[in-house]
Amino acid sequence: MAAPAVLRALRRLCGVALFVSQLYVLSGRAGSLMATKHSQPQSTFAKSLTSTSTNAPYFRAAESTEIPAYVTKCPSNGLCSRLPPDCMICNTNYSCIYGKPATFDCRVKPHVHCVDQNNHEQENFTINMTCQFCWQLPTTDYVCTNSTSCMTVSCPRQRYNATCTVRDHVHCLGNRVFPKMLYCNWTGGYKWSTALALSITLGGFGADRFYLGQWREGLGKLFSFGGLGIWTLIDVLLIGVGYVGPADGSLYI
C-alpha cells in the first residue's frame, strides 16, 4: 500500500515541475516580444536623429551665404571708379614710376554692384591713380590716432607712434593702415591770446601761470610781486614767443 502512494506523490511533483517550466518558457517569450516591440520605435527615432544630423551641413551652408560686412561701405549702383578700395580687387603694378599716373585693372568684390559712365553694370574696370605707397601720401589723405600724453611744448619737440588709415576715396599702393611717427599736436583748450593778456595785465600776481596750470610758479610770482617786476617782464616775453605753454604739454588754440 505504501508503494502506490509514493508513486502518486512522485507523479504530482513531476506535474508541478512541468507546469512551472512551461510558465518560465512562456514568460521568456513574452519578454522578448515586448522588447522587440519597444525596440522598433527606438530604431525609428535613431534613424530620425541620423537623418537630421545629415541635414545639418545643409543648414550651415545656408548660414554661410550671409552678405559680407564690406558691402555696407559700397554704394549700390554707383560709378565703379568711385568705389572705395575695400569694394574692389586690383592688380597693382609695383614697378610703376613713383609720382607718375598709373592705370590698374580692377574687379568688384562679390555682392557689389556698380555701373560705368553709360549707366551699364560692369564687373571689370580700370582706375587711375598716382604711383605711390600709402605712407607717402599727403597728410590730408589719411587720418591718424592722436596722443594726449606726450608733451607738445618741449625742446626738442616730442614725437609719438601713431596708427594712420587712408581715407576711403584715396587709392594707393601697399597697406592702407600703417604706423607713423608724428609730432605731438594735441590741445587742452588753452588760448595763447588769453595767456598773453593775463601776463601783461595781472602777471605780477601770477594770473598767467595760474591760467596755464602752473600753480607753483604762480604762487612764487604772487608772493614775490612778480619777482619785483623782473619775472613779470620775462614771462611776457616767454609767453609771447610761445616758449611757456600749458602745464599739460598741449598746444595753444
pLDDT tens digit string along 4-44? 666 676 677 666 666 666 665 556 554 544 444 444 444 44
Confidence band, pLDDT 50/70/90 cuts, at residue 169: confident
Same domain, residue pair 178 and 214:
no
Q: For residue 168, is it within any domain?
A: yes
Same domain, residue pair 127 and 80:
yes
Indicate if the pLDDT at residue 233 is higher than 90: yes
Q: Are 81 and 115 in contact (CB under 8 A)?
A: no
Its domain, for residue 113, covers 71-131
Total number of domains constituting the chain: 3
Find the DSSP H helices in the chain.
2-63, 192-202, 207-211, 215-223, 225-228, 230-240
Same domain, residue pair 178 and 196:
no
Q: For residue 246, is it within any domain?
A: no
Distance set, CA 169 to CA 48, 127, 155, 177 (Å): 55, 12, 37, 14
CA nearest neighbour of 112 among 136, 135, 84, 132: 84
Same domain, residue pair 99 and 125:
yes
Mean per-residue pLDDT for 113-126?
A: 87
